[in-house]
A and B are shown apart, each in its own frame.
Chain A
Amino acid sequence: MDNSIVRAGYGRAAYRWREKRGTLKKAFAAAFPNTIPIFAGFWFLGMTYGIYMNVSGFPFWYPMLMSLTIFAGSMEFVAVNLLLGAFDPLQAFTMTLMINARHLFYGISMLDRYKGMGWKKFYLIFGMCDESFSINYTAEIPEGVDRGWFMFFVNLLNQFYWFFGSTLGGICGSFLRFDTEGLDFVMTAMFVVIFLEQWLKDTSHVSALLGLGISLLCRIAFGVDDFIIPAMIGILGVLTLIQKPLEEGGAAG
């Protein structure tokens, strides 16, 4: 083969690689500052989650594996309880669907933005946790920065923080010298905060009160171990029945 053609081919490849590296650098530099608050939060919550798993009797590779594959913080906390209970994959599956049902609506909001992202789209959907969604949905991506790589790095950094936090917690939990009794309240506290945030955001509190009320009734009627699924069916049923009045009242905007 003619040497000059080979050289020209190499030159083009090297040029393309340099260009690509420039794109990646720029996207990373734009994405990173957006993830700093999540950095603080995920290390703290991830560590707590890892320690919680550790003191619940799980070796560190459980939080490690779960942070990589599930990557949905609240679900991972609930999973600790599910793993400590009796083997019930159907309950685990339906609880996962209910707790993570909000992802459906993140997905609906992102349908357009993830268009034409190629293989990156798979990871963007796979790693769409609350925090990554909020950043990618609201961030103003600067002109000239590749949108796909920007969102990709937001997801990747967030998952990296969560992964290291929970793995570290899972390893360090066994070296803790203080009494961890009551640490499991971190999950309650987290959901109370999320509930409050949602409450402050909602104009109507009908559905929040229904969620509390129906769950409480089912807890009393069905007992500790069997109330979740009836409560879910009850919530979905009542919300479906009152769709018209609720929407006419403008509550569901």
Chain B
Amino acid sequence: MTVAQRLLTIGVIVLGTMLTRFLPFLIFPADKPTPGYVRYLGKVLPGAVFGLLVIYCLKNVSLFSGSHGLPEAISIGVVAALHLWKRQMLLSIAGGTVCYMLLVQLVF
């Protein structure tokens, strides 16, 4: 990408982000009830989108070549275990990342 293309991409991301933040204030007057379908999506969409994002992060992992996704699997296990144990977001993220860095640099 050229610098101009990069700036345009950033601009598009800003536009998309601001659309999601401003839209409710533009389309839903505060004195009227929110449509049921919108409320339903608000309840169920986040869980599904976070699932999509986890898969997105792992999209380049190949089970049949290289390290067979083992460093990823182990480190995600560490993240989950730390998080269920202490429920400290930063500890879980830092612990899992350090674990992954050690695995790919020293073991695999």
Contacts and interface: CB of A to CB of B under 8 A. Distances in A.
Interface string A101-134: 1111111101110110000010001101000000
Contacts of A160: none
A97 to B, nearest CB: 5
A236 B84 CA distance: 29
Contacts of B56: 78, 191, 215, 228
Given A235-B49, A239-B44, A72 B17 contact: yes
A164 B76 CA distance: 29
Contact of A107 (B5, B21, B37, B50): B21
A181 interface: yes
A210 B46 CA distance: 11
A189 B50 contact: no
Nearest to B44: A207
Contacts, number: 255
A15 interface: no
A248 B23 CA distance: 29
Nearest to B48: A211
Interface in B49-108: 49-60, 71-72, 75-76, 79-80, 83-84, 89-90, 92-94, 96-97, 100-105
A195 B101 contact: no
A13 interface: no
Interface string A205-220: 1111111111110010
A139 interface: no
A70 B14 contact: yes
B86 to A, nearest CB: 11
A237 to B, nearest CB: 11
Contacts of A105: 24, 41-42, 45-46
A170 B15 CA distance: 23
Interface of A: 40-41, 44-45, 48, 62, 65-66, 69-72, 74-75, 78-79, 82-83, 86-87, 89, 92-93, 95-108, 110-112, 114-115, 121, 125-126, 128, 179-183, 185-199, 202, 205-216, 219, 224, 227-228, 231-232, 235-236, 239-240, 243, 246-247, 251-253
